Amino acid sequence: MLILRRSDVAEILAGREAEIIDLVAEAYRLHDEGRTALPHSTFLRFPEEEHRRDRIIGLPAYRGGTSPVAGMKWIASFPGNVAAGIERATATVVLNSLETGRPSAFLEGSVISAKRTAASAALAARVLAGQAPPTGVTLVGCGVINLEVLRFLKAALPGLCEATLHDMDPARAEAFTRTCAEAVPGVRVTVAVDLGEALAAHPLLSLATTAAEPHLDLSACAPGTTVLHVSLRDLTVETILGAVNVVDDADHVCREQTSLHLAEQRTGNRDFVAAPIGALLRDTEHIEREPGQHVVYSPFGLGVLDIALAEYVRERAERDGLGVRVEEFLHS
């Protein structure tokens, strides 16, 4: 068993945004071709009121293609951690041999999870931008995910030079500006205390909050804004129904009281979903938007992305001699 610590994973993935975006794109293509296996994620929730917002999610997955891999991500989201000064989410990934089924690697997964999430969002921004890639983005929610989103957007959209931040905690947003300036030099970062001002600032918007239920419409946004709806529960049903909606997988995203799940419950169908990202990448489907209509990308976060990126990390760790190998993990 190869055990890879967070420091190992971070070292391997540092500066590899373009490669990770390509890896995520290939995973989406394989998924659209039916060459993956993705059971529904399992949500472990807790009966106590103090844990109402907490959850632990299991995402098993298999990616086929030329380098097949199977495994599972186990990720905990405890929003209350933020107030305590520790990270909201922690994750681990286990990979299994496709020859014997035995576990072959155990990886710290929060870096993998954040980067694959951001790569998915940046890929969608590039695909949906059309002929006029945006030069600025609004980030609502000043946490780990939107930091990675900004980093990956800069790789996917080299002309990006401005970012406007908004967070419920203005002090947190101000501190985040310094983090962004260090992590993504060349992007001018400002804070908008007023949410409406932030939404109106740019035609590209990334929502990465801890919202448990819809609270936001896009009336303050510029016409034709592209929305990266990463946290999945921010937008009202009316907003979803009025937008062109792109998803990673409709079966996965229309669950667990996401905004799209609520829209499905309201309408009794999924006609409001225009296309999956994999089909757009394969050019087998296309979207049409009315002048000024918003496009909303809602990625559930498919486990196949975690497994694909974890295998990428494992291969490089084996090559570079990183991690801790436990020879007697299965046998005494």
Percent of the chain with pLDDT strictly greater than 70: 100
pLDDT reported for residue 25: 98
pLDDT of 254 over the 70 cut: yes
Q: Which two tokens stand for residue 108?
A: 């710290």
Is residue 310 predicted with pLDDT exceeding 90?
yes
Q: Per-residue pLDDT tens for 8-29? A: 999 999 999 999 999 999 999 9
Alpha-carbon distance 215 to 114, whole Å?
Answer: 24
Mean pLDDT of 87-92: 89
* Predicted model pTM: 0.93
Could you tell me if 284 and 257 are in contact, meaning their C-beta atoms sit under 8 angstroms apart? no
96-119 residue pLDDT tens: 999 999 999 999 999 999 999 999
Task: Indicate the Cα dihedral angle 102, 77, 231, 14, nearest 10°.
Answer: -60
Q: What is the pLDDT of residue 302?
A: 95
What pLDDT does residue 251 have? Answer: 96
- pLDDT tens, 120-169? 999 999 999 877 899 999 999 999 999 999 999 999 999 999 999 999 99
For 269-285, write each residue's pLDDT tens digit. Answer: 999 999 999 999 999 99
Question: Contact at 8 Å (CB) between 247 and 301?
Answer: no
**Alpha-carbon span 160 to 137, nearest angstrom:** 8
Q: What is the pLDDT of residue 332?
A: 63
Span 254-282, average pLDDT: 97
Q: Measure the CA–CA gap between 73 and 313, rounded to whole angstroms.
A: 14
pLDDT at position 15 is 95
Return d(Cα 91, Cα 83) in angstroms, integer.
19
pLDDT, residue 57, reads 92
Q: Which residues of 248-285 are buried (b: 16+ CB within 10 A; e: fewer)?
A: bbbebbbbbebbbbbbbeeeeebebbbbbbbbbbeeee
Beta bridge partners of 103: 96
pLDDT of residue 327: 85
Please state, rounded to an integer, the average pLDDT across all residues of the chain. 95
Determine the average pLDDT of the residues in 311-317. 98
pLDDT in tens, 207-241: 999 888 999 999 999 999 999 999 999 999 999 99
Looking at the chain, the number of H-run helices and the number of E-run strands are 11, 16
